[in-house]
Structure 1
Amino acid sequence: MDRTVREIHADFAHRAGYIGSGVGVAVMDTGIIKHKDFDHRILVFRDFCEQKQYPYDDNGHGTHVSGIIGGNGSASRGRYRGIAPGCNLIVLKALDRYGNGNTKEVLEATEWMIENKERYNIRILNISVGMLPSAKKEEKERLIAAMERAWNHGIVVVAAAGNNGPDAGSVTIPGILKTIITVGSSDDEGLPAKQHGLMPGYSGRGPTDQCIVKPEILAPGTNIISCSAGGKLYEMKSGTSMATPVVTGAIAVLLSAHPRLRPAEVKLILHDSAVPTALKGKKKAWGKLDVARMLLKSRPFS
Structure 2
Amino acid sequence: MKYTKFFLLILAVLLVFSSCQISSVNNEDNYEKILNEKVNLDNIDEEKIIDNKLVVGYDDETSLKELANKLDARILKGKNYDKLKELNAAVLSIDSDINSIYNELRKLKVELDGIRYIEPSYKVELDRGEISPDNQIIKPEISPYNQIIKPEISVRSTADATQNALWGHKAVNVDYAWNNGITGKGVTVAVIDTRINHNHEALEDKMVNLSYLGDGVFGYDPITGTPLTEKTNIISSPADEAHGTHVAGTVAGEITRESTEGTIKETIGIAPGAKIMSIPIFQPGFIGDEYVAMGIVWAVNNGADILQNSWGGYGYSNLLKDAFDYALRANVIVVVSAGNSHTLMDIGYPDSYPGIISVAAAKIGNIVTSFSNFKDANYITAPGQSIYSSVPNDSKGNLSNNSYEFYNGTSMASPHVTGMIALLLEKNPNATPYQIKQILKNSSTDITGWDGTGRPFEEETWTWEGWDPASGYGMMDVEAALTDTTTYPNKTDLEVSVKDTDGNNIGAAYVTLYNKGTGRNYFSKSTPNDALFYQIEPGTYDIIVGGPDYLDMNALNWRVEEQVTNTIENFNVNEGYSNSVSIILDTKNMKLEGTLNATTTNDSTLLFVPYGSYNESVLKLEIPLASSATINFNTNDIPDLSNLIPSGQYWIIHQIDNIEENDITFSGTMTINEWEIPVTSLIESGKYKGFIEDNRFIPVAEAGTVPWTIF
Correspondence 1:40 to 2:205:
yes
Report the equivalent of 1:155.
332
Contact 1:2 1:79 in 2 (8 A): no
Report the equivalent of 1:93.
280
Distance 1:35 1:298 in 2: 37
Distance 1:13 1:96 in 2: 35
Distance 2:252 2:348 in 1: 25
Distance 1:79 1:3 in 2: 14
For residue 233 of structure 1, report the CA deviation from its aligned partner.
1.9
Correspondence 1:103 to 2:277:
no
Distance 1:162 1:35 in 2: 27
Looking at CA atoms only, which structure, 1 or 2, has the larger radius of gyration?
Answer: 2
Q: How does 1:51-130 map to 2 (within 5 A)?
A: 53=229, 54-57=232-235, 58=237, 59-74=241-256, 78-98=265-285, 100-117=286-303, 122-130=304-312
Deviation sequence 1:152-177 (CA, Å, 0-9, x none): 11100001111121x22356301001
For residue 29 of structure 1, report the CA deviation from its aligned partner.
0.7
For residue 2 of structure 1, report the CA deviation from its aligned partner.
2.5
Instruction: Give the one of 31, 46, 62 matched to 2:195.
Output: 31
SS in structure 1 at match of 2:437: helix
Correspondence 1:255 to 2:425:
yes
SS in structure 2 at match of 1:46: strand
For residue 26 of structure 1, report the CA deviation from its aligned partner.
0.7
Correspondence 1:216 to 2:379:
yes
Unaligned runs of 5+ in 1: 194-199, 208-213
Distance 2:364 2:340 in 1: 9
Contact 1:221 1:240 in 2 (8 A): yes
Instruction: Give the one of 5, 8, 17 matched to 2:181.
Output: 17
Instruction: Give the one of 364, 375, 399 matched to 1:206.
Output: 375
Contact 1:73 1:82 in 2 (8 A): no
Deviation sequence 1:57-112 (CA, Å, 0-9, x none): 441110110000001133695455210001011111111224x3410210110111
Q: Whose helix fraction is larger, Structure 1's or Structure 2's?
A: 1
Unaligned runs of 5+ in 2: 1-164, 209-217, 259-263, 395-401, 451-461, 463-468, 489-711
Contact 2:251 2:419 in 1 (8 A): yes
Distance 1:172 1:185 in 2: 16
Distance 1:86 1:169 in 2: 34
Distance 1:68 1:75, change over 3 A: farther
Contact 1:37 1:75 in 2 (8 A): no
Q: Whose strand fraction is larger, Structure 1's or Structure 2's?
A: 2
Contact 2:381 2:471 in 1 (8 A): no
Q: How does 1:218-237 map to 2 (within 5 A)?
A: 218-231=381-394, 232-237=402-407
Q: Which amino acid aligns with 1:4?
A: G
TM-score normalised by the chain length of structure 1: 0.84
TM-score normalised by the chain length of structure 2: 0.37
Q: Which amino acid aligns with 2:387?
A: I
Distance 2:485 2:350 in 1: 27
Q: Which amino acid aligns with 1:255?
A: L
Deviation sequence 1:116-174 (CA, Å, 0-9, x none): 22xxxx21110123022xx3x4xx22222211211111100001111121x22356301
Report the equivalent of 1:4.
168
Contact 2:183 2:273 in 1 (8 A): yes
Distance 1:71 1:239 in 2: 18
Distance 2:182 2:328 in 1: 24
Distance 1:234 1:300, change over 3 A: same
Contact 2:166 2:387 in 1 (8 A): no
Q: Which amino acid aligns with 2:382?
A: A
Contact 1:21 1:256 in 2 (8 A): yes
For residue 300 of structure 1, report the CA deviation from its aligned partner.
4.1
